[in-house]
A and B are shown apart, each in its own frame.
Chain A
């Protein structure tokens, strides 16, 4: 029976009229890599902040390795390493000095601190710039420094909030590699992300978060398999419109083996179909040809995590992100994060 190392139960948190968390519950087993997937504003950052004892929930419980985080925050802090989304560094200090400060705050003895510093510098390739001032670092460097900072005291649980946002492909791959190895060596890793690819590639299990609650949970494979049916994306034209899409829907209504049909307005009015199996493709093409409709592209795949998301929330992750993008207020968010 895998040991549960993180347990969040019925977390509620309001910021004024907005319910950031609305009964969020999840469990993370020891030694696994767990992903929280959802668009910005879904409640991922808030739940991670509550887990890391930065915030108190309005109600609900938080347990880490059996300890109650609300009753014994300090004991829980010793077990956790937190890599936040807003990389707060001190521009005047060098990376090394920042890590030394971090080590002192976690009460590492001097020799162990230096040993860890050397290991992490080597591992994350920070040698060339660790003695330069933090203010001179690029985004990728800052993120690596932050990761080193979270790992310095060798935590049992590493919590990361959107670890690869804004990074180039190489930095992203490095971080993925580090996280996988951490998991392999027994550290429990909990990360939040709005990148499907990241969660799909890394997570042993994931939870989809929307509106402050978990609406789907499981391993990527089991979630995908549970959906059943292949996905077909049909484009009669590179960028179609409402009218044409409606016409295509009408034409295909008669086609057997199509279980579901959705017009994807965000992606040039293409049609996302759920079909019984590959066998539907032939009759589909014939039907379109008969109706004199062109085919710009037609692609078929097994269910993806995007489909899992679509099924669980009613829209694709990209649509959800776009919907939120307009209403985000970075200033208000900064104020919220300010103590």
Chain B
């Protein structure tokens, strides 16, 4: 170090640095850094990851055991309850992880870290949202894979290569949609207490009002309708079909009170939901992040 270290850079400042760097490179750099921060936080405080796997794991094991001696042929296709439940718990895992996507953003809002990000010359403030989406998507998929592995160990099946692809695409679509919802809530609500309250209230009822734990044929009409309109159901049924070895997207997977839906149609609903939610929250994000 020289005797009088310079506070300004020893190399002369480039005169037109912006033109030389591409917008894409900048975007990549900032998204990478923001995503890296979220993963660093996870690495040092893995409780989110652990809890996110432990809870559905307990559900899978206990619920599966609960109905282990249920009469044969009770469920459609003579499926065992464990296999039936498996798809439900996998979706539940991904859903819960995605529903919590807004929490880190909410904390950043509350404790002023977001302001630090907003003072920086980001190429696009969507980088903040994109980093969140990347992080939560990875987290959800990893947790879901862990549950799938456990399900396989418990003898509840494995979807096979093509089926696995189908499962992952389905989960991805659901996670996008729910992440959009969670981020919207994170910017709309005034504090983390309110956000946690909403997450808490939404989480379990949505699970019960879907086909995660029981088929529609078990439900009274009103619940059947709710389940048939529940986004979780649109993710669960294609996955259940994939586990049953039925990977044809044109086969009917959901027998709803309003009609039958094929696997492709279920995925379409999820895709529309994901796109729709992000479009919905876009004005809110623009307002908050500009």
Contact = CB atoms under 8 A, between A and B. Distances in A.
Interface residues of B, number: 41
Contact of A338 (B6, B26, B30, B109): B109
Contact of B7 (A54, A92, A187, A335): A187
B69 interface: no
Contacts of B45: 92
A239 interface: no
A182 B41 contact: no
Contacts of B121: 74-75, 77-78, 105-107
B112 A90 contact: no
Interface stretch (A20-28, A81-89, A191-199, A268-276): A81-89
Contacts of B7: 119, 123, 151, 178, 181-182, 185, 187
Interface in A174-194: 178, 181-182, 185-187
Contact of A100 (B30, B33, B122): B33
A78 B18 contact: yes
A65 to B, nearest CB: 13
B115 interface: yes
B106 to A, nearest CB: 10
Contact of A77 (B11, B29, B40, B120): B120
A149 B121 CA distance: 14
A92 B41 contact: yes
Interface of A: 52-54, 74-75, 77-78, 80, 82, 84, 86, 88-90, 92-93, 97, 100-102, 104-107, 112, 115-116, 119, 122-123, 133, 149, 151, 154, 178, 181-182, 185-187, 334-335, 337-339
Given A84-B112, A105-B122, 12 more contacts: A84-B119, A86-B115, A90-B41, A92-B45, A104-B30, A105-B120, A107-B29, A107-B30, A116-B9, A185-B6, A337-B112, A339-B109
A80 B123 CA distance: 16
Contacts of A119: 5-7, 9-10
B110 A97 contact: no
B127 to A, nearest CB: 9
Contacts of B40: 92-93, 97
A53 B114 contact: no
B61 interface: no
Nearest to A52: B119
Contact of A54 (B5, B18, B34, B118): B118
B111 A88 contact: yes
17 contacts: A53-B119, A54-B115, A78-B18, A82-B119, A86-B115, A88-B115, A90-B41, A92-B41, A93-B41, A105-B30, A107-B29, A115-B10, A182-B7, A187-B8, A338-B110, A339-B118, A339-B289
Contacts of B122: 74, 105
B113 A105 contact: no
Contact of B9 (A92, A112, A335): A112
A116 to B, nearest CB: 7
Contacts of B70: none
Nearest to B116: A88
Contacts of A187: 7-8
A154 B112 contact: no
B33 A122 contact: no
Contacts of B5: 119, 122-123
B114 A339 contact: yes
A104 B123 CA distance: 11
B115 A107 contact: no
A90 B69 CA distance: 51
A88 B113 contact: yes
Nearest to B31: A104
Given A93-B40, A154-B9, A339-B288, A105 B33 contact: yes
Nearest to A184: B7
B211 to A, nearest CB: 39
Contacts of B6: 119, 185
